[in-house]
């Protein structure tokens, strides 16, 4: 039985039976059948469906947001913004998908030669709980406009969000089987990945989950895109706008309860600004309102699960025991729910848990850099390479600095965020492949060479 739990109270929300093998097989059949037909639909018809789904997301924004809050605990205002972002992505790919997938001339010794982009078939999307709508739609929107069908295996604790997404597609008039949900157990994933009706796989999740799915996809010789964890550096150089950096640092770390792969996690500050940045960072973080995420004023809700909160607390406690200093928080919330107080740990160095590991919750590590080159070395001293943020008044210098940062994205004087117009993904143990933009849409098509004598 799939059991969903309200992280604000610890109470059970629903008990939902998983699918048996016959039900999973039927979903695979329906998706394969839908993909064969959908791949021959015009771009105009594909775009029309995406726009219809976007309209329904906007019409039901409030109820969809509340479902996400109940299942994973993000503040309600942020949940509404997430639903709207999904609608934006659908509209974006509806408008630009045809141009992204238009044949491209490739002159050769042929009378005519060009590159065409053909659908692959059924995409299996294995998605996490932390952005229960956005993670799904940022994979589904480009895949669908490219002519593929999508089967979603969502995180168990956001099962109702998954079912709501499927309902929205049905209400929008999607062909039967084009977007489906698999209520499958984790141990069934390898079999599903290897099933011949699955053409490719995309996963957003942990390093461990990514390695397991990549192994299954590799065994079956299937395309796979992985967006995994991150320990993003937020580098504040000595000539930075300190007020802007500190203000953005709070949002970059604590938005979505700190449970984001692209949240800033290691705050690396050049020595001349270190003490003042830390003071401002602590003051602003302490002012964050923690509480019931259904309340509009709340900025930080509970961690999504008790084990996630406990892991963050262990990372903080062990980092302090290793010689760092708790400048704020470091305590488990009182009462019901999986709350963890906003936490800032200062004087963190490599070798400590909060430097070496991804911290998936409302806790920040602040690191002192002796100079710019030391800051760069600290930023790259990580097994992850998803996003990064650099703060300086020297924009030209920042571009040179960013060119040497080992990450899939570098944001100068801004917070890392995903955007349908820009490719998104990482290097090192943050995964491979790209989502969003033309780069993302081309991940799940057959890039076909056409040569005509």
Confidence of residue 333 (pLDDT cuts 50, 70, 90): confident
Same domain for 175 and 291: no
> Measured between alpha carbons, how far is 204 from 178 in angstroms, rounded to an integer?
21
Looking only at Cα atoms, what is the longest distance across the chain? 75
Question: 327 in a domain, yes or no?
Answer: yes
Same domain for 275 and 161: no
Same domain for 166 and 26: yes
Same domain for 210 and 236: no
pLDDT of residue 335: 83
Residue 336: phi and psi, rounded to 5, are -75, 160
Q: Is the confidence at residue 3, as pLDDT, over 80? A: yes
Question: 347 in a domain, yes or no?
Answer: yes
Same domain for 220 and 236: no
At 23 the three-state DSSP class reads helix
CATH number at residue 14: 3.40.605.10
pTM here is 0.97
Question: 152 in a domain, yes or no?
Answer: yes
Same domain for 413 and 324: yes
Same domain for 371 and 276: yes
Arithmetic mean of pLDDT, 139-158? 98
Is residue 423 a contact partner of residue 439, using CB atoms and an 8 Å limit? yes
Residue 310: phi and psi, rounded to 5, are -65, -35
> Measured between alpha carbons, how far is 148 from 444 in angstroms, rounded to an integer?
8
State the SS3 of 312-367. HHHHHHHHHHCCCEEEECCCECCCCCCCECCEEEECCCCCCHHHHCCCCCCEEEEE
pLDDT of residue 186: 86
Question: 198 in a domain, yes or no?
Answer: yes
Provide the number of structural domains found in the chain. Answer: 2
Q: Which domain holds residue 142?
A: 2-228+430-452
> Measured between alpha carbons, how far is 375 from 407 in angstroms, rounded to an integer?
15
Is residue 154 a contact partner of residue 162, using CB atoms and an 8 Å limit? yes
Question: 425 in a domain, yes or no?
Answer: no
Question: 244 in a domain, yes or no?
Answer: yes
Same domain for 134 and 250: no
Question: 424 in a domain, yes or no?
Answer: no
- pLDDT averaged over the chain? 97
Q: Is the confidence at residue 397, as pLDDT, over 90? A: yes
Encoding tokens for residue 415? Answer: 């917070």
CATH number at residue 290: 3.40.309.10
Same domain for 405 and 306: yes
Confidence of residue 290 (pLDDT cuts 50, 70, 90): very high
Listed in sequence order, the DSSP H helices in 60-133 are 61-72, 76-100
Question: 395 in a domain, yes or no?
Answer: yes
pLDDT in tens, 338-394: 999 999 999 999 999 999 999 999 999 999 999 999 999 999 999 999 999 999 999
Q: Where in the sequence numbering do the catalytic residues fall?
A: 227, 261
pLDDT of residue 100: 98
Same domain for 445 and 368: no
Same domain for 65 and 195: yes
Same domain for 54 and 143: yes
């Amino acid at each position: 039985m799939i059991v969903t739990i309200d992280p604000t109270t610890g109470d059970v929300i629903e008990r939902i039976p998983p699918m048996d093998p016959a039900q999973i097989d039927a979903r695979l059949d329906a998706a394969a059948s839908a993909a064969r037909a959908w791949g021959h639909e015009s771009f105009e018809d594909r775009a029309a469906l995406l726009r219809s789904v976007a309209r329904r997301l906007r019409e039901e924004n409030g109820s969809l947001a509340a479902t996400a809050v109940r299942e994973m605990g993000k503040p309600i205002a942020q949940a509404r913004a997430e639903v709207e972002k999904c609608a934006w992505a659908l509209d974006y790919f509806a408008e630009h998908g045809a141009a992204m997938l238009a044949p491209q001339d490739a002159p050769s010794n042929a009378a005519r030669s060009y590159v065409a982009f053909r659908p692959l078939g059924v995409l299996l999307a294995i998605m996490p709980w932390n952005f229960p709508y956005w993670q799904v739609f940022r994979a589904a929107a480009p895949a669908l406009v490219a002519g593929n069908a999508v089967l979603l295996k969502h995180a168990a604790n956001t099962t109702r969000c998954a079912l709501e997404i499927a309902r929205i597609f049905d209400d929008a008039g999607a062909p039967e089987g084009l977007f489906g949900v698999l209520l499958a157990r984790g141990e069934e994933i390898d079999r599903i990945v290897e099933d011949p009706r699955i053409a490719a796989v995309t996963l957003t999740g942990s390093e461990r989950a990514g390695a397991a799915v990549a192994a299954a996809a590799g065994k079956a010789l299937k395309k796979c895109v992985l967006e995994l964890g991150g320990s993003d550096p937020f580098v504040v150089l000595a000539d930075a706008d300190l007020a802007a950096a500190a203000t953005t640092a709070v949002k970059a770390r604590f938005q979505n309860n700190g449970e984001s792969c692209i949240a800033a996690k290691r705050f690396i500050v050049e020595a001349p600004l270190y003490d003042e940045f830390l003071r401002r960072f602590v003051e602003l973080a302490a002012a964050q309102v923690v509480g019931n995420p259904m309340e509009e004023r709340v900025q930080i809700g509970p961690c999504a699960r008790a084990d996630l909160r406990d892991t963050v607390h262990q990372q903080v406690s062990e980092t302090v025991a290793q010689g760092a200093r708790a400048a704020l928080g470091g305590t488990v919330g009182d009462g019901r729910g999986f709350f963890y107080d906003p936490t800032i740990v200062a004087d963190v160095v490599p070798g400590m848990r909060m430097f070496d590991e991804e911290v998936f919750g409302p806790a920040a590590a602040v690191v002192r850099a002796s100079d710019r080159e030391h800051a760069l070395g600290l930023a790259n001293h990580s097994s992850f390479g998803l996003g990064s943020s650099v703060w300086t008044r020297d924009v030209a210098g920042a571009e040179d600095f960013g060119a040497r940062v080992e990450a899939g994205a570098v944001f100068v004087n801004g917070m890392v965020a995903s955007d349908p117009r820009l490719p998104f993904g990482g290097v090192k143990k943050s995964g491979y492949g790209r989502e969003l933009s033309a780069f993302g849409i081309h991940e799940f098509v057959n890039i076909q060479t056409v040569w005509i004598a």
